[in-house]
Amino acid sequence: MTIYEVFLKKDGRDEFRHAGALDAADDELAIIAARECYVRRGEGDRVWVVARDAIITADPGFFAPNADKPHRHHSGEAVAARRKQIREQLKIAEEDQ
């Protein structure tokens, strides 16, 4: 048996989302099982079924260093926090004078 991952969406709406996984003997049985396991109630009519082994990935260690780079966050939160910190330091400095 092979493990497959199932992604689905409704036509013209949203993006494909991961629905879950299933076991199947081959591709044809996988698409049939996906129909019964994940779209029995009309959850979507566009379905991707992908053998888990066909998904390209790498160890968490390969991706983790990117978590520590606030300058790459473009939400402005990091910059705003830093400006606030500087303002408060200046204020304290003025009061001390």
Partner 1 sequence: MSILSPAAREVIIAFADDEHLMGQQHTEWIGVAPFLEEDLAFASIGQDELGHAALLFEVIVGSDDAPIDAIAFFRDADDWRSCTLVECTLQDWGDTLVRHWLYDAAEELRWQLFADSSVQALADLAVRAESEERFHRRHADALLDALLTVDDAAGRLQSALGRLLPMALAMFEGVDGETDAVAEGVISAPFASCAEAWKQRVTDRFGAQDWASIAAEPSANRTTRHGDFASMLDRIREVLDLDRSAVW
Q: Does 39 bind partner 1 (CB under 8 A)?
A: no
Q: Does 50 bind partner 1 (CB under 8 A)?
A: no
**Which residues, other chains included, contact 55 with Cβ-Cβ below 8 Å and sequence gap of 6+?**
5
Going by C-alpha positions, the residue among 1, 28, 4 that lies closest to residue 18 is 4
Tell me how far, at minimum, the Cβ of 21 lies from partner 1, in Å: 10
- Which two three-digit tokens encode residue 76? 């402005």
Q: Does 10 bind partner 1 (CB under 8 A)?
A: no
Residues interacting with partner 1, by CB under 8 A? Answer: 1, 22-26, 28-29, 32-33, 35-37, 40
